[in-house]
Amino acid sequence: MKKSLGIQTLAQPAPVWVVGSYDAQGKPNLATVAWGGICCSKPPCVTISLRPATYSHGNILARKAFTVNVASVTYARQADYCGIVSGRDVDKFAVLGLTAIKSGLVDAPYVDEFPLIVECRLQQTVEVGGHTQFIGEIVDVKADPAVLSDKGLPDIEKVRPMIFTPMTRTYHGVGEYLGQAFSIGKEIG
């Protein structure tokens, strides 16, 4: 018998993505989001949600671009910091000693130190409630060569992204390999 927990944002797992954008003065900013995910294969798109009160919300609307920077677990503290303070008040790149690289493809910066970067052109926005969903078309993915598999794809065990759990507000790393998708279920039925 299941226990009812009421109306809560309790889906698991959630990503930890550090979103890069430029403000009106060209200052690069970072905002950590857990409300997001891939939302389309053709064209490849990701979505992130931000409240209108956030600094990055206005940045992305104005520049029509953002980056998704996947922090490795070694940058857990820095990623958390980017979800606590506002870019209105501080220069997060400067405080954290991170390097902002201007994307050559979209009007947004990315974090040179992070292993996996997704550069996005804003496709559309969706008002859901208190959050605006920004749907970004992926125009390039950039990776640290050290995190690539022998097939040239980002290996999650080398990227070592973080996982966020809503409500309990915990961060975890990636655990044991369970198998190949579209494969381990084939023996059934």
Site for its own copies in 114-153 (CB under 8 A): 116-118, 123-124, 126, 128-131, 133, 135, 138-145, 148-149, 151-153
Residue whose CB is less far from its own copies, 13 or 26 = 13
CB 9 within 8 A of CB 166: yes
The answer to the question of residue 113 lying near its own copies (CB under 8 A) is no
Coil, strand, or helix at residue 145? helix
Binding piece for its own copies, criterion CB under 8 A, among 23-31, 56-64, 165-173: 165-173
What CA–CA distance (Å, rounded) separates 67 from 120? Answer: 6
From residue 78 to residue 97, the character string flagging contacts with its own copies as x (rule: CB under 8 A) and all else as - is xxxxxxxx----x----xx-
- 5: which residues sit within 8 A by CB, 6+ positions away? none
Residue of the chain from 18, 30, 68, 98 that contacts its own copies (CB under 8 A): 68
Coil, strand, or helix at residue 1? coil
The answer to the question of residue 184 lying near its own copies (CB under 8 A) is yes
Residue of the chain from 13, 53, 62, 86 that contacts its own copies (CB under 8 A): 13
DSSP state of 161: B
CB 163 within 8 A of CB 14: yes
From residue 26 to residue 65, the character string flagging contacts with its own copies as x (rule: CB under 8 A) and all else as - is --------xxxxxxxxxxxxxx-x-x--------------
Instruction: From 141, 118, 143, 122, select the one nearest 50 (Cα to Cα).
Output: 122
- Min separation Cβ 62 and its own copies, Å: 22
